[in-house]
Amino acid sequence: MKKTFTLNDLILYTYNETSETDKKELTQAIKEDGFLRKQCRSFRKTKKLLDDSQISPGDNVISNILAFSKALKVVKLDNFHNVEYVMN
């Protein structure tokens, strides 16, 4: 009996997150099934685009984070928990 694979199975396969047994079965199913082959190719292309993309925060976001970290002060008080405050 043939095992039925879902698109979620293909995504796991694309990211190498399947068991060895499932990997072998999916590899064979992809060879035999044109739809699975097409979907797998599409997922691989999408994964490559995601892996190749470089996303970074804007300069203003970095400036805000640095300003906040410079203004933050944490003080440990006797018999109390840490107190955090931002000095403006």
pLDDT in tens, 55-64: 888 999 999 9
Say if pTM beats, i.e. exceeds, 0.85: no
Closest CA to 22 of 3, 41, 40: 3
Our CA dihedral for 36, 41, 42, 48, rounded to 10 degrees, sits at 140
Give every residue of the chain whose pLDDT is below 70, as ranges.
1, 77, 80-88
75 DSSP 8-state letter = E
Cβ-Cβ contacts under 8 Å for 37 (sequence gap 6 or more): 30, 31
What token pair was written down for 18? Answer: 């399947």
